[in-house]
Amino acid sequence: MEEEMKAMLDQIESLKHSLPNNTAIADLQRHAERIAGLVKCAPTKRSKVKDMSAEVVDSNPYSRLMALQRMGIVHNYERIRDFSVAIVGIGGVGSVAAEMLTRCGIGRLLLYDYDTVELANMNRLFFRPDQVGMTKTDAAVQTLKDINPDVVLESYSLNITTVKGFEVFMESLTNKNFHGSGVDLVLSCVDNYEARMVVNQACNELKQTWMESGVSEDAVSGHIQLLIPGETACFACAPPLVVASGVDERTLKREGVCAASLPTTMGVVAGLLVQNALKFLLNFGNVSPYLGYNALKDYFPTMEMRPNPQCSNLACLERQKEYDLAKPAREAAAKAKMEAESSSMIEYPVHIDNEWNISVVDDNEPDISTSSKSTVFIPDGLVHELPSADGFQKPSFFEESSSIVDDLDDLKKQLEALNAE
C-alpha cells in the first residue's frame, strides 16, 4: 500500500507542475499525504515463525528467550511450544498472565471467562478502552494473536459454575487435539471462592495439576499456590476462615461497594504465577508450593501444605489413597535414579592444569620414608645429595673448638708459671 500511495503522490506532483495554480490539485495532494501518514502509522502484523531460533537478529522474536538455553538456565526452551495452559478468569491477574505466556511462546492457551470489558477495568493492565463491550475472552484473543500468532488460542465465554459451563470446562481440559495431549497446567485467576471450588473439583477428578492465585480486597497482598491432587492440599483441604465459619461469601458484597484493585499488585502476582508455571513446565529452579506477597512490608512468606485426611472433597480423598499406594514404587524409582546418576558420575580433578605439580597429602596417611622421598619429582638442575652414615665428617666447627681449648690450657700454664716466680 505504501508503494501505491507513493505512486499516487508522484502523479499528483506531475499534475501540479502542469497546472501550477489549480487549488483542487493542492487539496488532493494534502489529502493523499494525510492518508500516507496514516498508512505508515498502521500496526505491523507479525508473521508466524516455524522454528524457534537462537540467532541474535532484530527480526527474531525468540532470540532473548532462547538465550536462557545458551546460559544453561533451561535445557531445551523450544519445548514450551508443546505445552497447553488453561487460564480461568481473564481479569486483573489472568489477562496479564495470558499476555506473559503468549510472549514466552507457549504452545496453546485456553481462556475462560463470562464477563465483558468495562471502563471500570481500565485501572488494570492489558484491556483498552476501544474493547469496552467485548467479552473478555474475545478481547484477549484480539490482543494476543497480534502479539504472537504462533500461539494457538482457544476462548470459552462461559460460566464454569453452571452445570453446562462445568461440562464444557471438563471436556475442553481433556481434549487431546493438540500434540495428542490434554492440558498440562491450569491457572486459576478467579476472584471468588465458588469458582475456585469448581476448578478444584475438576482438577481433582481429572488428576490435573493446577495453580491458584488471588489478590486481597485491599489490593496490597496476594498469593500463588501449587496444587497436585493427592500430593498437596487441595483447595477444600484448608478452606478460608470466612468459609470455615459458615458465612456465605456472596452476602459479603454490598451494592455500590467494590474491592480495591491496583495494577501493580495484580502485575506482581501475575508475574509470580507465570514464573512458577514456567519453572514447573520447563523443569528449572524450585517450584514454590505456596508463595505469599505483602506489598506494605515487601514480605514473601512460603510454606508447604499437606493434604487433609478428613478433606470434605471425595475426589481429593481418592487421589490421596492413590498417592499413598504408589509411594513405595515412587521411592524405589527415585532411589534407582539416584544410584544410576551417582554411578555414572566421573570424578575429575578440580584443576586439570597443574604446572607446578602441586599435590595434597592426607594427614592420616603414614609418613613417607626417606628412601621414597628420593623418587619425588625434582625440577631440572637439582639432585638429591644426602650424606651417608659411614662417611659422615664432623664439621670444621668442632675442629676449631678443640684447638681453642688447647690454647687456653697453654695460656693458663704460662700464667701459673709467672705467679710462681
Residue positions annotated with a catalytic role: 258
Residue 101 contacts residue 281 (beta carbons within 8 Å):
no
Cα angle at 356 between 354 and 362, to 5 degrees?
Answer: 75
The cell 498469593 sits on which residue?
A: 223
State the DSSP H helix or E strand holding residue 300, giving kind and residue range, or none if neither: none
Q: Which of 104, 98, 129 is nearest to 52 (CA)?
A: 104
Hey, what's the cell of 213? Answer: 492465585
Hey, what's the cell of 24? Answer: 483542487
**Cα-based torsion angle of the residue sequence 68, 69, 74, 78 in order, rounded to the nearest 10 degrees:** 110
Residues composing the chain:
421
Instruction: Please tell me the distance from the alpha carbon of residue 357 to that of residue 349, in angstroms, as a whole number.
Output: 13
The cell 716466680 sits on which residue?
A: 421
List, in order, residues 6 or more apart from 32 with CB less than 8 Å away. Answer: 5, 8, 9, 12
Instruction: Please tell me the distance from the alpha carbon of residue 304 to that of residue 298, in angstroms, as a whole number.
Output: 20
List, in order, residues 6 or more apart from 106 with CB less than 8 Å away. Answer: 80, 81, 83, 84, 85, 151
Hey, what's the cell of 336? Answer: 534407582
List, in order, residues 6 or more apart from 128 with CB less than 8 Å away. Answer: 139, 143
Residue 117 contacts residue 127 (beta carbons within 8 Å):
yes
Hey, what's the cell of 171? Answer: 471436556
Residue 200 contacts residue 100 (beta carbons within 8 Å):
no
